[in-house]
Amino acid sequence: AQSVTQLGSHVSVSEGALVLLRCNYSSSVPPYLFWYVQYPNQGLQLLLKYTSAATLVKGINGFEAEFKKSETSFHLTKPSAHMSDAAEYFCAVSAAGGGSNYKLTFGKGTLLTVNP
Amino acid sequence: NAGVTQTPKFQVLKTGQSMTLQCAQDMNHEYMSWYRQDPGMGLRLIHYSVGAGITDQGEVPNGYNVSRSTTEDFPLRLLSAAPSQTSVYFCASRTGTGYQPQHFGDGTRLSIL
């Protein structure tokens, strides 16, 4: 079985401040990991993905995430927040191997608010 | 470049009514799936399909049916709508390779009165 825990359902930062959104996963086999962003009344857009190549993954809009196997974490960061980053962010895990047909399991989401 | 198209975007139903949410993709993706999104719950998998003629249940399948007669289409049927099915429904697709990301539609906002 696989699962995702996103620490903090709501994170608030000032414009220009560091963004850190936390994600911990559980998987019995090597995982594929994803971060998605959802703007109000829209679908989900892929920010970045980890597929067992480089552990530091760069995505769109200046976001990056680091896969840390020892900590079972895949935290999302951005050095300087913009007002346009305000959205809900979802971490997701897909199991590599086994009989799970690579089903995607989502965390419950973190709502990011950016204050001027 | 349509991607994943969901119709309708909004729908209000009465308890006990049935309806079909439509999902179509033009990327020739083998894998398609349906999720529901509820506040504080993230997205939960309802049903998925790994190819035409093959479907399977996800985490929350009760009250929903699916079929996959073509690669492009993956409709979701509510047989007898209940207020607990009020939610936002997302369809997604990807290639058959598990490490590829899923592409999402814009969602259908469904209210059951």
pLDDT digits (tens, 9 = 90+) for A30-55: 789 999 999 988 899 999 999 877 88
DSSP state of B53: T
Place of tokens 């399909």: B49
Nearest to B104 among A44, A101, A108 (CB): A44
Q: Nearest 10 degrees: CA dihedral of B59, A55, A7, B46?
A: -10
Cβ atoms of residues A112 and A11 within 8 Å: yes
Tell me if B43 and A49 make a contact (CB, 8 A cut-off): no
Contacts of A110 in chain B (CB under 8 A): none
Contacts of B42 in chain A (CB under 8 A): 90, 106-109
The larger pLDDT score, comparing residue B41 to residue A101, is at B41
The larger pLDDT score, comparing residue A94 to residue B113, is at B113
Q: What is the pLDDT of residue A41?
A: 85
Place of tokens 């990056």: A64
Q: Reduced to 3 states, what is the DSSP secondary structure of residue A14?
A: strand
DSSP state of A62: G
Residue range B69-113, pLDDT digits in tens: 999 999 999 999 999 999 999 999 998 777 788 899 999 999 999
Strands A10-14 and A19-26 come out as unpaired
Tell me if B41 and A45 make a contact (CB, 8 A cut-off): no
Strands B76-78 and B64-66 come out as antiparallel
φ and ψ at residue A85, rounded to 5 degrees: -80, -10
Give the mean model confidence (pLDDT) for residues B16-34. Answer: 96
Q: What's the half-sphere exposure (Cβ side, CA atoms, 13 Å) at A33?
A: 35
Cβ atoms of residues A96 and A52 within 8 Å: yes
Q: Which residue of B has its CA nearest to A109?
A: B42
